[in-house]
Amino acid sequence: MKRGDLVTIAMQGDFGKPRPALVLQSDVFSNIHETVSVALLSSNLIQAPIFRLNVTPDDRNGLTKECQIQIDKIMSIRKEKIGKVIGTLDDTILVRVNRALALWLGLA
């Protein structure tokens, strides 16, 4: 599992159903930390292009329907709550993710 991978996760509470998530955390910390920072994906599409980034399914990302990366739904979860890697995002989308994260977190 590395930054840019799409994984399945199972959370409790409001986001409890199994869903895809984007690994945001730097690969530097993969082997030394017990949690992984991710952004949830949703197939419930809304008009919010600054912090909800559309992703179209393709062979590389492994998605089955149009989704949005929810930059406003970032969380760190324990590694054991993470399922398999279903795909990976291309560099073009990751650049958009980086820009949206910088804006959302007030770093830009």
Summarised one tens digit per residue, pLDDT across range 47-106 is: 998 999 999 999 999 999 999 999 999 999 999 989 999 999 999 999 999 999 999 999
Q: 77: domain range?
A: 5-104
Find out whether 24 and 9 touch, Cβ atoms under 8 Å. no
Q: How many residues does the chain have?
A: 108
Residue 92 DSSP symbol:
H
CATH of the domain at 13: 2.30.30.110
Token representation of residue 102: 């910088």
Q: Residue 108: how many CA atoms within 13 Å on its side-chain side?
A: 10
Q: Which amino acid is at 30?
A: S
Tell me how many domains the chain contains. 1
Instruction: Grade residue 13 by pLDDT with cuts at 50, 70 and 90.
Output: low
Instruction: Grade residue 30 by pLDDT with cuts at 50, 70 and 90.
Output: confident
Helix ranges, 7-106 (H)? 91-104
